[in-house]
Each structure stands twice: as C-alpha cells, then as structure tokens.
C-alpha cells in the first residue's frame, strides 16, 4: 500500500514537471537516423561536412549530427534551405520534412 502511494506521488510529481517544462526535450531516434536521415546527409552534405578542417560542422556519425543540431543550428540551416549552399542541388521538400520530423521526434 505504501508503495502504491509512493507511485502515486511520483506520478503527480512527474506530470507537474512535464507541464512546467518550456519545451519537451527529445532525443532523435538513432534507428530512424540510420534508415532515413543518414542516406540524405551522405548524398547531400558529407562532401563538405566530413572533416572539421573544411567546415564548422562534421556530419559523419549520429553523434556528430546530434552535436550539429545542438551547437550549429542544423535544423534551422535545413528548414530555411540555407544548406546545402550555393549551386549545390537543394534538398527536396520531402527530404527536408524527413530531417525536420526526425529532429522534432515526430
Ligand atoms: C558545397 C559544400 C556544402 C554542402 C554540400 C553542405 N554544406 Fe553545410 N556548410 C558549408 C560551409 C562552407 C559552411 C560554413 C559557412 C556557412 O555557414 O555558410 C557550412 C555550415 C553548415 C552548418 C553550420 C552553420 C553554423 O552556423 O554553425 C550546418 C549545420 C550545415 N552546414 C549543415 C549542412 C547540411 C545538413 C547539409 C546537407 C543538407 C550541408 N550543410 C551541405 C558547406 C556545405
């Protein structure tokens, strides 16, 4: 019985903090990255983003892409179509959506 009560308190506590969070922080899924996101990055970004010598963001591994999302505004670069730069073939709308939905955990 005490254990149940404790669980109940825990539940209330969790639901409160959940509501108070300014935004839900999510971790983009690694399997979706491997299946859907990495192929897009490999064909459209890696040529310029495979080493720190050439560009501010390295996008070879899952962790590097997550780092670029957190520290190099990757989501904004993609959604605003600033990347890929210049005359490089732009991403299609569906490719942009895949990346955006993945980052937003949708
Ligand atoms: C033709 C080369 C090239 C391609 C292709 C390219 N980028 Fe970039 N990218 C750059 C360069 C150069 C910079 C640094 C200068 C700048 O921000 O304009 C950069 C900067 C960035 C940054 C860091 C921006 C910041 O403010 O720190 C991100 C994130 C990024 N690119 C993501 C991508 C993604 C995602 C793709 C593929 C969809 C991509 N890039 C394709 C050359 C490229």
Going residue by residue through the chain, which has 106 residues, state the pLDDT in tens, using 9 for 90 and above: 655 555 554 554 555 455 555 555 799 999 999 999 999 999 999 999 998 776 789 999 999 999 999 999 999 999 999 999 988 899 999 999 999 999 999 9
How far, in Å, CA of 106 to CA of 90, rounded?
Answer: 23
Structure tokens at 56: 């501010």
Spatial CB neighbours of 36, under 8 Å, sequence gap ≥ 6: 98, 102
- Decide: 52 in ligand 1 pocket, CB within 6 A: no
What integer pLDDT is reported at residue 87 of this predicted model?
Answer: 82
What integer pLDDT is reported at residue 86 of this predicted model?
Answer: 80
- Look-up of token digits 């971790």: 27
What integer pLDDT is reported at residue 20 of this predicted model?
Answer: 57
What integer pLDDT is reported at residue 53 of this predicted model?
Answer: 76
Choose the residue to mutate in 48, 52, 68, 82 for probing ligand 1, maximizing ligand atoms within 8 Å of C-beta. 48
């Amino acid at each position: 019985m005490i254990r149940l009560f404790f669980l109940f308190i825990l539940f209330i506590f969790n639901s409160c903090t959940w509501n108070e969070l300014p935004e839900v922080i999510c971790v983009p899924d690694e399997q979706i990255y491997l299946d859907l996101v990495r192929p897009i990055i490999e064909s459209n970004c890696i040529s310029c983003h495979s080493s720190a010598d050439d560009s501010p963001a390295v996008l070879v591994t899952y962790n590097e892409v997550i780092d670029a999302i957190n520290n190099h505004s990757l989501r904004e670069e993609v959604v605003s179509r600033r990347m890929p730069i210049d005359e490089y073939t732009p991403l299609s709308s569906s490719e942009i959506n895949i990346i955006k939905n993945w980052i937003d955990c949708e």
